[in-house]
Chain A
Amino acid sequence: MKTIKTLSLAVVAALSFASCSDDDDTPEIVNEEEVITTMTVTLTPNDGSEVITLQSRDLDGEGSDAPVITISGNLASGTTYDGAIVLLNETESPAEDITEEVEEESDEHQFFYTISSGLDVTTEYSNNDSDGNPLGTEFTLTAGAASTGTITFTLRHEPTKPNDGIESAGGETDILVSYSVTVE
């Protein structure tokens, strides 16, 4: 009987302890660190003409609202452009530059550029990872004859390196954005 008394005391003590836990604290907000909300491709022509930007922006991250895609202008036939890709997390203020992380872990990442068959455009990698394999946050783009089509930028995480292109690269897709462009 004494043990039962002791036990019930212990139970009451435990319960009152439990109910004392503070429940007034509201939880802390989480702004996701690794979310990529914005991809901006800047194409700077070698001839000094107008810079073209391609941007995909999805401020609410995954889900709900679809990304907003803007293209500042058309590519000029016969022009070569220096391309640079910037990835941002704009859910944070100031925005976090994710490109830096991709470049820090360059051997685990690679950008691929897929040009649709109707579009007369060629690309070439301009920067490499720490092992000398293509990374592709920087590239050159040469616009051929007047045409329209899509350029798809795919960032793969942990692809097989070196590889013969996106089909054999494997890995996990971190970014996949298609832009409809026109060469005039």
Chain B
Amino acid sequence: MKKLLNTLFITRQGVYLAKEGETIQVKEADETLLRVPVHTLQGVVCFGRVNASASLMGFCGERGVLMSFFTEWGEFLCRVQGPVSGNVLLRRRQYRVADDVEGCQAVVRTIVCAKVANCRQVLMRAIREEYDDSESLSRQVVVLKSVLERAARPGQSVDVLRGLEGEAGKAYFGCFQSLIGEGREEFAFQGRSRRPPLDRVNAMLSFVYTLLVHDVTSALEGVGLDPACGFLHKDRPGRPSLALDLMEELRPVIADRLVLSLINRQQVRTRHFRESEGGAVLLNEEGRKEVLTAWQKRKQEEFLHPMLEERVAVGLLPHVQAMFLARYLRGDSEMYPALLWKG
């Protein structure tokens, strides 16, 4: 399997990125702060007032390094696409499968099953680690099992599977507060709120999901698929539906557990947030740095991929799953093996 490369995160305001030979230069005024060889990177992610030269953008596009820009608060602004992107023939297959009832059902079934199973693993692991409130967790583990049994039945419509995915999400986030250790009143969680996040836990979840979308989008484009045409998520202009589909099975494994451990290890504190008028809660710059550092560390951890039967860095999961998906859509394999995490 290919090596995990770094992502360059630019959080400092007012810097300028330029190309110099085979390297990316990070400049502030006339001073060069950093030089990074492009072949060591898989992505460049910029927050806030960061500028980049057109020749650097073209260079990143050519080398398959995804460059994305976000507002200072982590809202997506744009991503840079190079001259050649993807394989139009594979994309046509993708659109055909998306329009084909059975082909679509088969992908959605494995994605939903894996998501529910992985959410359930997160809860079961917490129970094994003896959380005080394991009773409410155990109840939801039973609920998720029944959802999983129903989702696993072959031949169910995509709408039914979507409904089951929603049911699982409700059960899982319904007891998410119990996964946050005792005495963490400052991290009260009242269910998912996205636009905008209304509490600290939601602010962190949203931010980490944003990072995951970037990596999954990059992985999909890397294997030649169209991130916008999904199977589980309905197409909506401007929404990276396929990236959201592929994220489902990875969310609990990569993102949710990271947020929980940052809170429970007290690496993220109240001082890492700011509240805006109207009640939206956002990570501040210091908070984002804390999360980004933990995120990069998490990506380097290795685990045994059940399907590949080899050790893979967590950060390569989007790439591995995108490869599996491309092979299914191309007809090289009979199904898409969504990631079933073993807790």
Asked whether A and B interact, the reply is: no
Interface residues, chain B, with chain A CB atoms under 8 Å away: none
Interface residues, chain A, with chain B CB atoms under 8 Å away: none
